[in-house]
Chain A
């Protein structure tokens, strides 16, 4: 199959671990159920952006210069784990479906697929758009889709996104433009898995280019998207240019995209305010107030599909004691975390389910008794039940520096210390660089840490691989068969109402065991100068440029 060798795969994954996050898959949310059994027709009509809709004539051409603050690993969609990379990839590649946002909820629309027919709850047939070509001229056909899906799915290729196709029995070419997916059981997450956007597993890559370039494909990608890859200068810049044969008629508007790779966030913000770049891929919380004040800057940012949390080691140390973990969960004042940790650009998290996961999120959760919240009385009760009644000093590992939308450096640990002191827990903070921190987290060498899972839209990706027994992101070693069973069942269920019930129960089990203490759901910001028109915000940390023009 591919000529990518073992070592390059390791290298690609290595890169992932040193970028800020990991995956950023997008959840199906509302659409999972809604689309599950229905055929979706040709859509994508109502995708006109604000500025364009207001009747201003769209100016074609021009070069947009963007400051990229977040780190990149590879531009091979099947191996990236960096949101910084995915934002670029999304302008070069397409999936069978794409994620859209109407201002209230996330949707899934056809992208390379023109039509989706669910023959049964396990068999799905996709009709592809006619005449789509890769940037090197290769045709996008059923064969290409099959090859691409099998590339992700083949365990030998070690794609970290392969798990999305665990239950896929076969992909078959029906005819030139028709492809059939057969699953061994119903798969509620399918719409998300098929997006090229944050799904990655669904991004369609170019076989001949991969066979020719091998591992260099990740440094000079060939896709079907609105922009063609031109160059990537290490530590300096990435350049894309307009794909004149892009399948969405008349798009994109821009001729060229210049991405400046910037390591120091404050330099990026200065460059934006000084007019040296037209936009930023990400805005750290501390700069948001400054940018809000500037009349020339448009900020895009909402509470996205994410949650930050304190992870507590279930395998060793003081937090093997569930009562101590529960005490921590109820001793945290989330309003303080939101105000001081995130400069007010977040909301308290009661559970891991965030607002964009529409049907699963309960907007009235604050009025219920579910989830984690500040309740010192309760915290003290749990503390009294804990085996160790003396002062506990857990090792709290902290990574230095800003790490994209998830990491907030030492801030959270500083805010937590006085809160936890009230219940006789005095964390010993150990600060290290990100790489060393990752190693400690991955090998379970900690008592506690704080982090965030970001850019998710479905419970299937926001709690399942993180807290199921033995899964690779379950760093705290949490294990509860009841939780495993509930999330497993929810994954095989297509009925949204039933999924809501199952996930609610799973979340309740999880939060009662408290391997994590919830913190917040955060906003994720992009910023542009007012010269930039037509940006379509999607709350999964995407920066799609196909509808963007320069005024």
Chain B
């Protein structure tokens, strides 16, 4: 067990290393030059050279990279060009909690709606209920989150006035208010996952229900509810976890759009603003943080497998 854990930590470190190299190299290869962009219309040779040196861009790439990596690892992420704010503080203390709250809320919503919808449409296969559930799934899957967010704002925020449409209230300060503010964004972000979860649940459940052990359970006279939710669902959880594990990284991508529409000061908003301002150091911090999250989620999914499937435990 400790060996397996160490191996995973090692893998994580390796993945993060490659992410950091990639994000650094992409920045270097990206068209446009941060210095001339920073100087804009007030460009002249003197100020260009001076800023170029000041930012340390005249040093070899390797030196730049190792310096940056060293600083990054020790928590010195630098300061934003525009706001002069400490990037670690901005990204980790300010933006990250917002995005995590949003993503967690959205995931809970997606599971709470997606799994029952999938089960329902598998059990009532080819009935109008299946059609409805599948319809909702396809709809959620196909609707771009940007547009869905705006539609939700107009219907539930402006039209009905049920939910606030912008801003963030920290749930750890005021749980009810916080959830209330996050509801529309969470639905927006969850829609795609609801579709995904419902589809995977339906397909896997249909497959599992054909297995002989289900027939055996039925033959033993077990109740329909127990057969589905205890026996069958256990085997549905595996493909579901795999699919979700693969797609969870996409949450961050969805969060970018959602946060912009609902004016939430999260990671997505930070990266968007920094990209538009060409704040390269901030973008890099955001990318690294996303990379870290992605890897951590996958680690958790791996752990989840061992928990879900006793056979993997035995192998270990």
Contact = CB atoms under 8 A, between A and B. Distances in A.
A158 B167 CA distance: 37
Contact of A264 (B39, B43, B154, B261): B261
A6 B269 CA distance: 29
Interface in B69-106: 80-85, 90, 94-95
Interface in A212-269: 215-216, 219, 232-237, 260-264, 266-268
Interface string B262-282: 110100011011001110000
A235 B85 CA distance: 12
Interface in B38-73: 38-43, 47, 50-51, 54
B241 interface: no
B164 A276 contact: yes
Contacts of A132: none
A73 interface: yes
A361 interface: no
A216 B84 contact: yes
Interface residues of A, number: 50
B158 interface: yes
Interface in B147-192: 150, 153-154, 157-158, 161, 164-168
Contact of A473 (B41, B153, B269): B41
A262 B42 CA distance: 28
B115 to A, nearest CB: 31
Interface stretch (B29-37, B220-228, B293-301): B29-37
B81 A267 contact: no
B94 A234 contact: yes
Residue among B80, B90, B261 with the highest chain A CB neighbour number at 10 A: B261
A236 B262 contact: no
B40 A16 contact: yes
Contact of A261 (B82, B262, B263, B278): B263
A236 B168 CA distance: 9
Contacts of A262: 166, 263
B84 A442 contact: no
A271 interface: yes
Contacts of B277: 14-15, 18, 435
Contact of B84 (A215, A439, A472): A215
Given A263-B260, A472-B42, A7 B166 contact: no
A219 B270 contact: no
Categorize the interface residue count of chain B: 35 or more
A438 to B, nearest CB: 7
Interface string B123-156: 0000000000000000000000000001001100
Contacts of A438: 40-41
B82 A260 contact: no
B175 to A, nearest CB: 20
Nearest to A12: B82
A25 to B, nearest CB: 16
Nearest to B277: A18
Given A160-B42, A435-B37, A267 B166 contact: yes
A472 B260 contact: no
Nearest to A442: B41
Contact of B40 (A233, A261, A442): A442
Nearest to A160: B42
Nearest to A473: B41
A14 B166 contact: no
B269 A436 contact: no
B153 A267 contact: yes
A439 B36 contact: yes
Contacts of B85: 219, 234
Nearest to A11: B81
Interface of B: 31-32, 36-43, 47, 50-51, 54, 80-85, 90, 94-95, 150, 153-154, 157-158, 161, 164-168, 260-263, 265, 269-270, 272-273, 276-278
Leading 7 A-B pairs by shortest Cβ distance = A17-B40, A236-B265, A14-B38, A274-B158, A11-B81, A270-B153, A235-B265
22 contacts: A6-B47, A6-B50, A6-B54, A14-B39, A14-B278, A15-B82, A18-B276, A22-B41, A233-B265, A234-B80, A234-B90, A235-B95, A235-B269, A236-B168, A264-B260, A264-B261, A264-B263, A270-B165, A276-B167, A435-B277, A439-B37, A443-B43
Given A6-B54, A14-B38, A271-B165, 16 more contacts: A10-B42, A14-B37, A14-B277, A158-B42, A216-B84, A219-B83, A233-B94, A236-B167, A262-B166, A262-B263, A267-B166, A270-B158, A271-B157, A274-B165, A435-B278, A439-B37
